[in-house]
Amino acid sequence: MSGRVFHFRAFFSFLTLFGFISAVLTGVVLFMTPEGRIAYWTGWTFLGLSKDTWGCVHIVSSLLFLLAGVFHTVYNGRVLVGYIKKKGAKGLRMKRELAAASALLLLALAGGILELPPVDRLMVFNERLKDSWIGSPEHEPPFGHAEQVSLLVLTRRQGIDLDQALKELDTNNIRVEDPGDSLEDIAAKNGIDPIDIYRVIKPLETGQRQKKSGRSVFMPGAVERRYAESGIGGKILDELCLETGTELEAARQRLSSRGIAMEDDETVRQPGAVISSPWISPRIVLTGQDGI
């Protein structure tokens, strides 16, 4: 057995390096992962790990890098202080380099806050990279985080008869112990993904809209299914008018008077921050309760 002393300074130096490398690699993976609605719906994985797992590994790696860096600084305190003093005195004589580095840092921060070029181009690239995982429209869930709702709610929202859905799933060897279980739980028990369940029962969907006078009209039963556990952000103008009992033209005028441009087929989220701001409720605007 060797009597060699364990060098904590070298240990924390290696740990800092490994933590940095791990944080960078997991950060790159998270940069290219699909949006949550796609990842959770399709059961997306990379190198066998899910989006949540990659996020967990990234957090742990970053924390390890941070803690190792703190201990590394403590164990090398005297050396670092001396190095900073020496380089600091020299750096004061390099005013142009110091100014250039400071300017670059400010530009990077301003670009991130104001989404200025070339940072905005990077964000566009990031969005395209995430969207590239969507191979077809079928990969899109019927609504956000559909995997978290129960089969009972999903069938109600999509106009599907629950008994028919259960029979169809059973025919396809997908066991459902309780329709009140979420799609992700049912999928996990059957070794499949939530999207696979929806693919089986999607053909059972019934029409929820009827056309009348050139606009979409939601029938009462469809409205109940449509709004079950639904946030207002995913609703279009027709739906909001029906819910609030507001005429479409009156709704357009009230929204326009508040500087809100919203097309008939746009959801609340799409027009931008104005209508989705917490202090401006679309329901209040449409019903005229805001004094307009």
State the pLDDT at residue 236. 66
Stronger pLDDT, 136 or 30, i.e. the higher one: 30
Instruction: Please report which confidence band the pLDDT of residue 61 belongs to, taking 50, 70 and 90 as the band edges.
Output: very high
3-state helix, strand, coil in the chain (%, to 5): 65, 5, 30
d(CA 176, CA 180): 9
Round to whole Å and give the CA distance between 202 and 216. 21
User: Is pLDDT above 50 for 225?
Assistant: no
pLDDT of 266 reads: 62
Residue 288 pLDDT > 60, yes or no?
no
pLDDT greater than 90 at residue 169? yes
Q: DSSP 3-state assignment of 279? A: coil
What mean pLDDT do residues 162-187 have? Answer: 94
Q: How far is CA 205 from CA 20, 41, 180, in A?
A: 50, 19, 19
Q: Which residue has the tokens 């070794």?
A: 191
62 Cβ neighbours under 8 A, 6+ residues apart? 19, 23
Q: How far apart are CA 178 and CA 196, in angstroms?
A: 17
Q: Tokens for 108?
A: 């990077």
**Would you place residue 128 in the very low, low, confident or very high pLDDT band (cuts 50, 70, 90)?**
confident
- The whole-number pLDDT of residue 248 equals 73
158 pLDDT band, cuts 50/70/90, is confident
The larger pLDDT score, comparing residue 275 to residue 121, is at 121
The chain-wide mean pLDDT, for the chain, equals: 77
Quote the percentage of the chain above a pLDDT of 90.
31
Diameter of the chain measured on Cα atoms: 90
| pLDDT exceeds 60 at position 212 | no
- Is the CB of residue 54 less than 8 Å from the CB of residue 97? no
Q: Which residue has the higher pLDDT, 50 or 258?
A: 50
Given the DSSP bridges, would you call strands 49-50 and 215-218 parallel, antiparallel or unpaired? unpaired
Instruction: Check residue 219 and give its pLDDT.
Output: 44
Where is 134: in which H helix or E strand? none
3-state secondary structure 243-276: HHCCCHHHHHHHHHHCCCCCCCCCECCCCCHHHH
Provide the 3-class DSSP secondary structure of residue 197. Answer: helix
Q: What is the DSSP letter of 93?
A: T
